[in-house]
């Protein structure tokens, strides 16, 4: 995700009040997001049939990566917002921060792109996807690629690529690892950041059009229609979240990379647009909760309250 910070320069200044507002807003939504994620995890643990459904695999993996981003990447951002500088101020920490953010964001984007493609197969090629061989080829292998490729790519370019890092501890993410200022950084921007968003938009829009076009045919199977409509609406909402929050930063980066570096645009990217990418994993659990099985969620919430009540019950001394 070098696209986020490759052109950042150290003249960017953010007031203490602005950072404090961001810190407390992020903290508030982080806590709510973590609670939603834990509730969903608990729901899946008591209703494991949902985990066996192919259409839930990518959804659950996105939930896991979003949870990891919210609980590992976000605290590093919060300490920067709270202190106004990166702590600990070491190159090792800056490299780890970049690796953590870029890898989780990359996995998140690739999984979402795959989800927007796979929905076509699950809705319109259901019999084909019931074949075990096709499942491995069209489902499990792509998911494995979505996880391993970002991890290995950023592991190599951040820790093993031969260049000299010039981190700035006063800047968000210490600016960027050195590879981001080479041709690899341009590749990273286009292939790993912009292309998944393009795929998400195109395939999600195409799915909506296909479902609307074949609505009458799909309605002949009421149960399947209800499931397919729910999957389509869920994908549409998630797509809106991804496109609205990732597009401004990607557009700024492409303009700065191939045209010119505008100070106003650069400041907007650094002070606002970059934070939008952190909102994606925060918002995602709320979308999952909204489209989850109401009965399962209600049961999970009731059991969660029952466990909490049982633990807090004081038994009289005999």
**Residue-number span of the structural domain to which 96 is assigned:** 2-6+14-291
Residue 317 within a domain: no
Phi, psi of 172 (to 5 degrees): -60, 130
Q: What total of structural domains would you count in the chain? A: 1
Residue 305 within a domain: no
The per-residue pLDDT for range 194-226, each reduced to its tens digit, is 999 999 999 999 999 888 887 776 666 666 667
Residue 228 within a domain: yes
Residue 224 within a domain: yes
Residue 316 within a domain: no
Segment holding 269, helix H or strand E: none
Residue 315 within a domain: no
Report the CATH number that the domain containing residue 146 is assigned in CATH. Answer: 1.20.1070.10
**pTM above 0.85?**
yes
Residue 267 within a domain: yes
Residue 300 within a domain: no
Contact 117, 198 (CB under 8 A): no
The per-residue pLDDT for range 26-75, each reduced to its tens digit, is 999 999 999 999 999 988 888 878 888 888 899 999 999 999 999 999 99
CA distance 177 to 188: 12
């Amino acid at each position: 995700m070098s696209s986020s910070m490759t052109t950042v320069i150290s003249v960017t200044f953010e007031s203490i009040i602005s950072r404090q507002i961001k810190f407390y807003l992020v903290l508030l939504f982080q806590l709510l997001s973590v609670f939603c994620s834990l509730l969903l995890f608990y729901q899946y643990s008591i209703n494991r049939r949902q985990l066996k459904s192919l259409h839930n695999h990518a959804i659950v993996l996105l939930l896991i990566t979003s949870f990891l981003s919210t609980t590992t990447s976000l605290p590093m951002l919060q300490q920067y917002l709270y202190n106004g500088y990166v702590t600990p101020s070491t190159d090792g920490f800056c490299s780890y921060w970049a690796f953590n953010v870029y890898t989780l964001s990359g996995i998140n984007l690739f999984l979402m792109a795959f989800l927007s493609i796979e929905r076509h197969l699950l809705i319109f090629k259901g019999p084909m996807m019931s074949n075990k061989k096709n499942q491995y080829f069209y489902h499990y292998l792509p998911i494995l690629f979505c996880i391993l490729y970002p991890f290995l790519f950023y592991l190599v370019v951040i820790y093993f690529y031969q260049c000299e890092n010039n981190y700035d501890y006063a800047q968000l993410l210490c600016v960027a690892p050195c590879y981001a200022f080479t041709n690899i950084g341009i590749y990273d921007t286009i292939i790993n950041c912009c292309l998944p968003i393009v795929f998400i938009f195109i395939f999600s829009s195409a799915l909506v059009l296909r479902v609307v076009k074949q609505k009458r045919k799909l309605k002949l199977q009421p149960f399947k229609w209800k499931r397919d409509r729910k999957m389509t609406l869920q994908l549409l909402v998630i797509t809106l979240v991804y496109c609205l929050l990732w597009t401004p930063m990607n557009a700024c980066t492409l303009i700065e990379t191939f045209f010119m570096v505008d100070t106003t645009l650069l400041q907007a990217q650094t002070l606002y647009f970059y934070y939008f990418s952190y909102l994606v994993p925060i918002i995602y659990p709320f979308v999952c909760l909204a489209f989850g099985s109401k009965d399962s969620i209600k049961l999970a919430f009731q059991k969660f309250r029952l466990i909490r009540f049982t633990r807090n019950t004081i038994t009289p001394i005999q």
